[in-house]
Amino acid sequence: MKANIIRIKDDIDSNRYANWCWQTSAANTHIEFFNAVTPNEVDDLMFGLRIEWKYPWAGEVNDIKSGLKLRAYQTADPKKRMACFLSHYCLWEKTISNGEPMLILEHDAMFKSKSPIPFDEILKSKFDIIGINEPFRATRLSQLFHEKVQNDHFSRNDVVRAPLIDDISVPQGIAGNSAYIITPNGASKMVELTKEHGAWPNDALMCRQLVFSLGVTKKYYTKMQGIRSTTTL
């Protein structure tokens, strides 16, 4: 499967992490590096795509359109978080253009094994977006996330629906956006949601409440490298 690792082109650390992700990659992944959108590109790109940022930077907002409670993320630099979203958005558009599924990775992911990943089996599931990342160090309430995934016996092909681990009104989905498979249908859904609700942090917009076909694998194929986030404080 084609895979894109998002890296910050001129950042030494980001390139080192991305290279390690590539070096650990599963045998049946065809890796390309995707140069992340940078903060100084955000305004022009948002304008060109006709996208507005609609997620709060502080406090908590009850969003009438989605019916969800939007809680601000800790953010060191708003433009960096917007750039992260746009990097994923560009890869969603690339997935649509290519007409085939893609594995999207952030530079802080690494593969757990070089053994081939059973992509064909995974894609037989009913889901259009499938997280493959181990939840530990990737999401809050990671132990609860893990337990709910492993105890879900209602889905086939060892892919289950992304679990709810918090108040139903809070956006929640896969274990971060560091590693997920997305189909052209899934990518089209994310682009549609962006047009409808505006730009949000990508792991908030890609939530179970808005994306019904959002799944996770019971077997985790990637994990976090354990490095500092480039977007949070």
| Residue, of 70 and 229, whose pLDDT is higher | 70
Cut 0.75: pTM above it:
yes
Q: 5-55 pLDDT, tens per residue?
A: 999 999 999 999 999 999 999 999 999 999 999 999 999 999 999 999 999
Q: Average pLDDT over the chain, rounded to whole?
A: 93
Backbone angles phi, psi at 123, to 5 degrees: -75, -10
Give the number of other CB atoms < 10 A from CB of residue 72: 13
**71 strand-pairing partners:** 60
Backbone angles phi, psi at 175, to 5 degrees: -80, 80
Phi, psi of 119 (to 5 degrees): -60, -40
What domains can be seen in the chain, in order of their start residue? 2-224 (3.90.550)
The two structure tokens encoding residue 118: 């059973």
Q: Are 122 and 136 a contacting pair, CB within 8 Å?
A: no
Nearest to 71 by CA among 206, 173, 169, 202: 169
Say how far apart CA 223 and CA 49 lie, in whole Å. Answer: 32
Share of the chain above pLDDT 70, in %: 96
Reported as a single tens digit per residue, the pLDDT across 123-174 is 999 899 999 999 987 787 888 989 989 998 776 668 999 999 888 899 999 9
Find the mean pLDDT for residues 206-210: 95
Query: Locate tokens 């940078």: which residue?
Result: 38
Q: What is the pLDDT of residue 233?
A: 47
Tokens found for residue 117: 């990943």
What is the predicted pLDDT for the residue at 184?
A: 98
210 in Cβ contact with 202 (< 8 Å): no
The tens digit of pLDDT for each residue in 55-82 reads 999 999 999 999 999 999 988 899 999 9
The pLDDT, as a whole number, for residue 231 is 63
